Amino acid sequence: MGELEDRRTAVSEARFESLLDTAADGVIVIDETGRMLVFNKICERLFGYSSAEAIGQNVSLIMPPEFSVSHDRFMNNYHRTGEKRIIGIGREVSGMHRDGSVFPLELSVGEAKTADGRQYIGVLRDLRSRRAVEQRVSQLQAQVVHMTRLSAMDEMGAAMAHELNQPLTALLLYLQAVARQIKTCFADNKPPSDKMLGVLDKAVQEAERASHIVQRMRQMVEKRDPERATIDLREVVNEALDLSEFVAQGATVTIRRVFGMTPIHVDADATQIQQIILNLLRNALEVAKESEERWVKVSIGADDRSAFVSVTDSGPGFSEDVSKSLFKTFSTTKKSGMGLGLAISRAIAQNHGGDLMADPGGNGQGATFTLMLPMHHLDETEDDTWG
């Protein structure tokens, strides 16, 4: 009887072993204390330890130090409260190879109640190849953004030429005036007057006005790698609005800015955020231009977790059908083809851990597009004042 049972157990164990070793994913079993009981072939390859080396050791062996410290705490917490943070859920974690390199893993955890106490089965999938694809996609995204920015530049080119015309005209006229006066002075054998210096000062101011315009345009055009920095959303949006007033010039649409007094810090690529704002603004201005009241409202706000920028126009809003297809990449519900712009904008927002949402409005209400970004949180090191 006992022998038969032993044999059955042996057979099922052999089956289990072979199952583990043919599995395409890493499989680890740990006990309640975090000790590894099973460490399959894939795991050997992933982490660089043989199963003989790994079995019996704490699972923190294959975690980066910052995770291994909290792992014991998580397990204790679960044993005490029964609150599931990962079991049956699965999430992305980091693993550490024997050589110290850290890599992304997808981890799903199951729980088994055995005679020897609770055991946890972890299934691990290497995310490095998926990560490479994601990186490629975000590179492409950056390129597409760059391209759309350039075509927006084309449109702005004419507007900018007009904007530069004014300071250049004033500058040249001031210089013509001074040149004439100096010639007259020479002819009359008189010294140049203070008045001429005053005119030259004005000429310098106009030259500065022109170069300021060029500088701002250059900032928008230059291709930069996505740079994350802690930025004040109000400043970044303000700059984009200033820029778009070149485009709006002549069209009598009022841009209302509803900004608070306190800085709103987010971690983001300022140029990409401006690209989103410009896109939303361009659409809104186009709609507002055809409306009776002709305004676009841009408001910025925040709660503890998220910051948001809302762009509302005085137009009639979207029909339900249109609002459904708004974010589809190539939807051409509108002559300007804003589908692509919105889809890219949303992709950028999501890349930043945020989102782009549309309230279609209607019934006398204009549409509102809201860009949401996670707030910057001071981490502990920044927070420390050290008395």
Member of 38, 171, 309, 342 binding other proteins (CB under 8 A): 171
Rg value, the chain, Cα: 32
The reply on whether position 181 binds other proteins by CB under 8 A is yes
What would the two tokens of residue 109 be? 């955890």
| Residue nearer to other proteins on the CB measure, 49 or 174 | 174
The reply on whether position 295 binds other proteins by CB under 8 A is no
User: Residue 171 Cβ, how far from other proteins at the closest point, in Å?
Assistant: 8
The reply on whether position 172 binds other proteins by CB under 8 A is yes
Residues 6+ positions from 47 with CB-CB distance below 8 Å: 54, 61, 62, 95, 96, 97, 98
What would the two tokens of residue 168 be? 């250049």
The reply on whether position 139 binds other proteins by CB under 8 A is no
Member of 84, 85, 162, 223 binding other proteins (CB under 8 A): 162
Query: Torsion angle of alpha carbons 110, 111, 112, 113, nearest 10°?
Result: -170
| Residue nearer to other proteins on the CB measure, 23 or 207 | 207
CA distances from 244 to 15, 141, 231, 238 (A): 68, 23, 20, 10
User: Which residue, chain included where needed, has tokens 């782009």?
Assistant: 356
Residues 6+ positions from 332 with CB-CB distance below 8 Å: 339
Stretch that binds other proteins, among 15-23, 149-157, 165-173, 280-288 (CB under 8 A): 165-173
The reply on whether position 176 binds other proteins by CB under 8 A is yes
User: Residue 319 Cβ, how far from other proteins at the closest point, in Å?
Assistant: 35
The reply on whether position 211 binds other proteins by CB under 8 A is no
The reply on whether position 49 binds other proteins by CB under 8 A is no
Member of 18, 77, 169, 211 binding other proteins (CB under 8 A): 169
| Residue nearer to other proteins on the CB measure, 162 or 377 | 162
Question: Which among 250, 247, 235, 302 has a CA at the least distance from the CA of 280?
Answer: 247
- Map residue 335 onto helix, strand or coil: coil
Member of 35, 71, 209, 294 binding other proteins (CB under 8 A): 209
The reply on whether position 254 binds other proteins by CB under 8 A is no
User: Which residue, chain included where needed, has tokens 């500065």?
Assistant: 208
| Residue nearer to other proteins on the CB measure, 33 or 165 | 165
**Binding residue count for other proteins, defined by CB under 8 A:** 22
| Residue nearer to other proteins on the CB measure, 107 or 171 | 171
What would the two tokens of residue 46 be? 């992933």
Helix, strand, coil percentages in the chain from 3-state DSSP, rounded to 5? 50, 20, 25
Member of 170, 221, 322, 375 binding other proteins (CB under 8 A): 170
Stretch that binds other proteins, among 30-38, 65-73, 174-182, 234-242 (CB under 8 A): 174-182
CA distances from 65 to 21, 47, 61, 88, 91 (A): 28, 15, 9, 24, 18
Q: Which residue type sits at 121?
A: I
User: Residue 172 Cβ, how far from other proteins at the closest point, in Å?
Assistant: 5
Binding site for other proteins (CB under 8 A): 161-162, 165-174, 176-177, 180-181, 199, 202, 205-206, 209, 250
